[in-house]
Chain A
Amino acid sequence: MAEHMTGLTEQLQTFFGRIRLRDTLGEEEEQALVEAASERITFAAGEDLVTEGDRPTRSILLTRGYACRYRLQKGGGRQLMAIHLPGDFVDLHSLLIKEMDHSVGALTECAIITFPHDRLVRVTERLPHLTRMLWLLTLIDASCHREWLAGMGLLSAAQRTAHLICEIYVRLEVVGLASGHKFNFPITQAALADAVGISSVHINRVVQELRQRDLISWENGLLTIHDWQALVATADFNDRYLHLVKEQR
């Protein structure tokens, strides 16, 4: 049991890091989260972590891999609404919304930790500051949705792609999962197309255009940003919506 706890504490460090970027996280709060954690599960790429219409009894936190929040159209079309990274509490939503209005899928192999809802409810009853931190995380999820929505209306496909690359790099970099303007990005081009909201044919051309402008390269799942300032300028990227300021909340 003690070993199980140590393992969980280790695997939750990236998540704790995401909270600590924005405020302090007390020892008691950390401990409460470790105690609320339950199982460790892995998923293969393409599998659903949670499916639209489900009524989950647990929330899931991503510890390894890339996941996405998505909707499917009857005709087979897919739109991603968010890409989730290690340390993201991807499905904190189901604690309160109950019935899933979208799915969460694994874009690569993923490892998760489950948090039974009854335990999370007890955490919220006992620790108000930690509760506000969990609330903040879902607000940041919403902020990312707003950013993507604004991009859909205002940015070109190349700009949206550049913007997504900036976003993912920053979100990895702030918790030490990337540095030197490169990161592992082993998702398919089709998944990237679904995130940007364009066809696979178009994403091919967009990625080629970003390559030809020497902004990025993307080979064997490794994405390298060659000119960060130029990529940021192209995307009109401002990380304000990620709320990376540490202050009392």
Chain B
Amino acid sequence: MPRYYFDVSDGAELFIDDDGMDLPDMPTAIGEARRALADMMRDSLRADGADAVSIAIRDGADGPVIISVNLTTVHPDNTKP
């Protein structure tokens, strides 16, 4: 099984994954990353943390694939900029 590395970027911090995980294929790796993002976003929202979290998946053959969640707050009825 190929090894996939998941580098996580949230707000100011970047965590480079030195260990990686052995997974059958890139779609499985993307599934793992999406699940991780859901957990991270939950914590981030509750702790007033970063508005953007992304995971870059690296492997030897293909990639990187970047998956990200961006949280935006808008006031549609507010005319002020």
Contact = CB atoms under 8 A, between A and B. Distances in A.
A189 B21 CA distance: 11
B6 A201 contact: yes
B46 interface: yes
Tell me which of A156, A201, A209 has the highest count of chain B C-beta atoms within 10 A of its own C-beta: A201
Given A201-B36, A205-B8, 14 more contacts: A156-B46, A157-B39, A157-B43, A198-B36, A199-B35, A200-B32, A201-B6, A201-B8, A201-B32, A202-B36, A202-B39, A204-B21, A205-B15, A205-B40
B36 A208 contact: no
Given A198-B39, A201-B33, A202-B39, A156 B47 contact: yes
A200 B23 CA distance: 11
Contacts of A158: 43
Interface residues of B, number: 16
B62 interface: no
Interface of B: 6, 8, 15, 17, 19, 21, 32-33, 35-36, 39-40, 43, 46-47, 55
Contact of A199 (B17, B19, B39): B39
Given A199-B36, A209-B15, A204 B47 contact: no
A156 B43 contact: yes
Contact of A200 (B15, B21, B43, B47): B21
A187 to B, nearest CB: 15
Nearest to A196: B39
